[in-house]
Homo-oligomer: A and B are copies of this chain.
Amino acid sequence: MKYCSSCGDIVSKRIPEGDDRHRHICDGCDTIHYQNPCIIAGSLPVYEDRVLLCRRAIEPAYGYWTLPAGFMENGETTLEGAVRESMEEANVQLHTLELYTMIDIPHINQVYIFYRGHMAKPEFSPGIESLEVELFDEKDIPWTDIAFPSVKTTLEHYFADRKKGLFPVRTDLIQRRKR
C-alpha cells in the first residue's frame, strides 16, 4: 500500500495514537488503513462413504486435490460462502451443513472455516476452477497430492471422527514450514 484509497495522497507506516502497531496512515487526510485476516469458507461434501475432492485448475497448487473453498465475500455468511464455493468449484448441492473445522494460518493471515455437508445424490461436475471432481473412498484419498495443509487436516479429522460417529468442531493451527 503506497497511496490512500480515500484521497490518493501518500501513505506511510506509523503507529497511530493509542495503538501499538504500525498501520498505513494517510499523510494527507490521516485515514488509518487497517489490514486484517481473511476467511476462507469451504465444505467437506460427503456422499454415503465417500468424500468429494476437486483437482485444481488454477494456481496455487494447480493439479492438486482440494475441498471446495474460497474467500468469503462481504454480505454473506460463512455457511453461504461454503455453499457458494461448493457450487462454483464442483456444481454440488449440499444439505444439513454443520460447522466442522476452524483452522488458523497466521503467517498468511487466513482462517479456514469448513462445513461438513451431505450430498443427496452423486451429482457434481467441475466448475471453471477445477480440472475434475471425484468421490473418494478413504483408502483412495490422494494424500500426497492434497493442495493445502488445511484440507489435509480436515480430511484427517473427518476419517478419525467417522470411526466414532461423532463430529465435534475441530480447531487447528497451521504454522509456516521450517526450511
Any B CB within 8 A of the CB of A165: no
A79 an interface residue at 8 Å Cβ cutoff? yes
Size of interface on A: residues with Cβ below 8 Å to B: 42
How many copies of this chain?
A: 2
Question: What are the residues of chain B within 8 A of A2 when measuring CB–CB?
Answer: 5-8
For A76, the chain B residues whose CB sits under 8 A away are: 106
Contacts of A50 in B (CB 8 A): none
* Contact indicator B36/A72 (Cβ below 8 Å): yes
Q: Report if A54 contacts B (CB, 8 A).
A: no
A interface SS class: loop
| B75 and A104 contact, CB distance less than 8 A | no
Chain A 5-29 near chain B by CB (<8 Å), digits 1 or 0: 1111001000000100100100000
Contact of A169 among B6, B24, B128, B169 (CB under 8 A): B169
> Is A120 positioned at the interface, with any CB of B under 8 Å from its CB?
no
6 A-B pairs within 8 Å (CB atoms) are namely A3-B7, A36-B38, A36-B74, A72-B111, A75-B107, A79-B104
Q: A168-B168, A168-B169 are in contact. List 9 more A-B contacts (CB 8 A).
A: A2-B7, A2-B8, A3-B8, A21-B73, A36-B74, A37-B72, A74-B109, A78-B102, A99-B169
